[in-house]
Amino acid sequence: MLKIKGIIIATIICLLFCQAGLAEGADPVRSTGIISAMQNEIDLLLSEAQIDHTDTVGGVDYHVGTLCGEPVVIAKAGIGKILSAAGMAAMLNRYDISRVFFTGIAGAVGDETQVLDVVVATELVQHDFGYINNDGFAWSGGFEGESGHYPCDAALVEMACRAAVDVVGEAHVFRGTIASGDQFVASEEYVEYLQSEFNAIACEMEGASIALVCERYDTPFVVIRSMSDKADGLAHETYENMGDIAADNSCRIVMEMLESLKNDSAK
Q: Which residues are catalytic?
A: 41, 229
Residue type at 84 in one-letter notation: S
**Count of helices and strands (H, E) across the chain:** 7, 12
For residues 179 and 201, what is the distance between their CA atoms, to the nearest angstrom?
8
Q: Which of 81, 37, 38, 87 is nearest to 59 (CA)?
A: 87
Q: Which helix (H) or strand (E) holds 34?
A: strand 31-36
Strand runs labelled E in 38-189? 50-57, 60-67, 70-76, 97-108, 118-126, 130-133, 136-139, 149-151, 173-180
Nearest to 113 by CA among 244, 204, 207, 12: 204
Give one word for 104, left, alpha or beta, with left for phi > 0 and alpha for psi -120 to 50: left
Question: What distances in angstroms separate CA 228 from CA 125, 181, 225, one per listed residue?
Answer: 20, 17, 9
Task: Show the DSSP H helices in 26-80 as ranges.
Answer: 43-48
